[in-house]
Amino acid sequence: MAALVIGMSAWTAGGAGELSGWIAVEGRGFLNDPLYRGQDRDNASIAAQPEYYHAWENGSSFTFVPFGRADTADSRRTHADIRELNYLYRQDNWFVRMGVGKVFWGATEFVHLVDIINQTDLIEHIDGEDKLGQPMLEFSISPSWGTLDFFLMPYFRERTFPGRGGRLRTSRVVDLDDTIYESSSEERNIDVAARYSRTVGGLDFGVYVFRGTSRDPLLATPDLVPPELIDPEDVNDYKLIPFYEQINQFGADMQYASGNWLWKLEAYFRNGYFQDYFAATGGFEYTFVGVGGSNTDMGLLCEYAYNDRDDGGQTIFQNDLFVGMRMTPNDAASTHLLMGFAQDTEESENALSIEASRRFGANWRLILEAWLFLDSADDSVIHELRDDDFARLELAYYF
Amino acid sequence: MYIGMIAALTAHASTGGEASPEERGLAIAKEADRLSNGYGDSTANLRMVLRNRQGLTSEREIRIRTLEVEAEGTRSLCIFDTPPDVKGTILLTHTHKQADDDQWLFLPALRRIRRIAAQNKSGSFMGSEFSYEDIAVQELEKYTYRWLRDEPYDGNDCYVIERVPVDRANSGYCRQVAWLDKEHYRTWKVDYYDRKDELLKTLTFKGYEKHLDRFWRARQMEMVNHQTGKSTILTWSDLSFRTGLKEIDFDRHSLTLLR
C-alpha cells in the first residue's frame, strides 16, 4: 500500500514516457486446399503492438502493451488483447508488480513445458510462443541465496483456437462458448504459484509449484457435445468443448553452460482431475563460432520431449525427438535463420519448420517462415493438420 | 603498499635494466590496469556507427552499465535502444578473472532469458567490427604480456606492448599490439593479428577526457577491419561514475525489470 502511495505521488511529479512498438502485415499461403468445410485457403492480416513505458526516479514504472490483429480468413483471429498493463514498484532486492503481466519460465527451444503463468494465444501462431496477458499480483524477493517469486492470479484466460474459417485447426472447431471448468468459480478461480530460482556458476535453475486452473485444456470428444450444437448439415462439424481441470504442478527448469555447450532441461509432475503424470524435455545446443573463418555462428540443437499422459493423442509432443540448426551471420542486418525438425519416436510422424528474418533499413524487418507437416499417424493432432503446410511472410515496421 | 610496489616495478621497467621484455610488459599492463580500476561503477551511452566497404552506414544506440566486483571481475549490462527491432534486448556479462565468463541475453518479445554458451568470444558484437572479446572488460589475467619497444605515437611517448590471449583456442587473435602513453598509460592504438598472424584490425582512440580527476576515458574509438574494408566508430556520451549501482542490478533475474 505504501508502495502504491509513493508510486502515485511520483506519478504526479511527472516525467517523460516512451512509446515504441510495431505494426506488421502478414500473408500466409497454404500448399494444399483446405480439408474442412468453411476454411479459406489463404489469409492476410495486419497486426499492431504499441508499447508505452514510463519510469519514475524512485524505481517504479508503468507499462502498457495492447495488441490487435485483423485477419481476412478467420473471424476469431481478428482479435485484441492487453499483453501488459502493469505497475511495478522496485526496491533494492524486491519488487511488486500489479496488473496484467507476462512471465516466461523455461529453457528449451522446441517445447515450452514448464511455462505456465500466461495462457497461449494459439490462434496467433502454431508455435505457441505468443501469450495472452495474465492478471496478476507478483511479489519477488532476492536474498543472497536466490530469488523467490510469488504469484496470485485472480482471473483465468482461455486458450484461443482457430475458428471455422481458419486453417491450422482440428477438423472440429473448438467451441469457446461452452467451456467447462472443474472449479465452480470457473475463470474466477484464484490461481497461485511460487518459484525459487538461482544461478550457481554456469548453472541457472528454477523450481516451482503451481496450484490452480490448468492452462492446457482437454478437448472433449463429440459424445459429450450437446446435440443442439451439432450442425446437422455436416457430421464433420462437431464441436470440441474445452475442459479446464484444477491441477497441482511441480516444475523445474535449468540451463547449464560449459564452453560452447548449453544444456537445457524442463520437467514437471502434474496432479489433475483424471490422472497424475510426468513430462520432461531436454537437450543441448552446441555453438560453432566463426564457421570457416567467417563471422557466422552456427548452433546445433537436439532435444527430446517425453510425456506420459494418456490423453488419446491430444498432446502433440508425446515422445518426440527434435533436431535444429541456428545460423547467425552476425551481419549489420541481424539476419537470423532457425530450422527445426520433429520426429515422433513411436509413430512415423514428423514436421519441419524454417524461420528466417533480417532487417531492412533502420525500422523494417522481414520474416519468412515455412512449416511442413510431412507425415502423420491417424488420430493425432498433426494428422488433422496434414494438409496445412504453409509459408508465412511478414513485414514489420518497428518504431 | 601494493601501489608502491607497482610503482617500483614500473620505475624498474622504464629504466630498462635487467627486467626481461615479459616482466616489463606485465608491469606496464598492471599499471594501466591499476590506473583504470577503482571507479566503482559507471553508466554511459554508446552510439555505434557501422560502415561497410561501400560506405553505407547503420547505427545502434546502447546504454552501458558496469560494476567492479572486488577480486572477482566485472559485471556489465548492454541495453539496446536502437535499431527499434532489437529495442529492449539486454546483454548481461559477468567477467571472472580466473574462470569462464557468464553471459545472458534477454529477449523482450518473449520475456525470455537465454544463456549464451559461447566461451569463444571471437564473434561480432551486433554486426560491428568489434567482437565480444574487444568489447569486454579487459581483465589483466586473460593475457600474457611482452614489452616490444618505446616509440612516439601521435605526439605521445608510448610503450608498445604485445598481449597474447591465455585462452588462445577461444580467441580470434594470436596476438594484439598496443600503444600506451608513458604519462597516463592510456591506450591509443591496438593492432589485432588473426590466427594466421596477419593484421586483421586496428583500433584507435580519440578525445581522452579525465573523469573524477583520475580516470581517463576516450570519447571515440574506431575499429577498422583491414581485410574487409569495414569499420565501426563508437562514440561515448553521458559518462557517469559512482552512480550507486549494486550487484543486484546485475543479477540475472533483474533483466526482466530493465528497460
Write down the domain spans for chain A. 2-398
- Taking an 8 Å cut-off on Cβ atoms, the answer to whether B58 and A332 are in contact is yes
Upstream peptide bond of A135 is cis (omega within 30 degrees of 0): no
In 3-state terms chain B splits into helix, strand, coil percentages (rounded to 5) of: 20, 50, 30
- Average pLDDT on A217-226 reads 70
Q: Which residues of A touch B115 (CB under 8 A)?
A: 202, 204, 255, 257, 262
Q: State how far residue B127 is from chain A, nearest Cα, in angstroms.
A: 4
Provide ipTM, 2 decimals. Answer: 0.90
Chain B residues in contact with A333 by the CB 8 A cut-off are: 127
Give B119's contacts in chain A (Cβ within 8 Å): 259-260
- Check CB contact under 8 Å for A333 and B127: yes
CB spacing of B111 vs A102 below 8 angstroms? yes
> Chain A to chain B, count of Cβ pairs less than 8 Å apart?
108
Using the predicted structure, report yes or no on whether residue A377 has a pLDDT greater than 90: no
Task: Output the pTM of the full model.
Answer: 0.89
CATH (residue range A2-398): 2.40.160.10
Kindly state whether A140 is in contact with chain B, defined as any CB-CB distance less than 8 angstroms. yes
Q: What is the mean pLDDT of chain A?
A: 90
Domains of chain B: residue spans and CATH: 2-257 (2.50.20.10)
What DSSP letter does each residue of A308-351 carry, written as one string? ---STT--S-SEEEEEEEEEE---TT--EEEEEEEEESSSS-EE
- Determine what percent of chain A falls in helix, strand and coil, rounding each to the nearest 5: 10, 50, 40
Q: Taking CA A156 as the corner, what is the angle to CA A159 and CA A308, rounded to the nearest 5 degrees?
A: 60
| CB proximity B6 to A under 8 Å | no
CA distance A88 to chain B (A): 9
Please name the helix (run of DSSP H) or strand (run of DSSP E) that holds residue A284, with its range, or none.
strand A276-288
A386 CB within 8 Å of a chain B CB: no
Q: Which of B59, B87, B102 sits opposite A202 (nearest CB)?
A: B102
Say if the Cβ atoms of A257 and B123 lie within 8 Å: no
Q: Closest-CA residue in chain A for B87?
A: A20
Query: Is residue B160 a contact partner of residue B177, using CB atoms and an 8 Å limit?
Result: yes
pLDDT digits (tens, 9 = 90+) for B14-36: 544 578 999 999 999 999 999 98
Chain A: give the shortest CA distance to residue B186, in Å: 30
For B46-71, write each residue's pLDDT tens digit: 999 999 999 999 999 999 999 999 88
Residues of chain B positioned with their CB less than 8 A from the CB of A103: 111, 256
Confidence band for B11, pLDDT divided at 50, 70 and 90: very low
Query: Is a pLDDT exceeding 60 seen at residue A360?
Result: yes
| Mutation to test the B interface, candidates A287, A326, A336, A395, most B Cβ within 10 Å | A287
Distance CA A37, CA A35 (A): 7
Residues of B in contact with A331 (CB under 8 A): 127
pLDDT at A309 over 70: yes
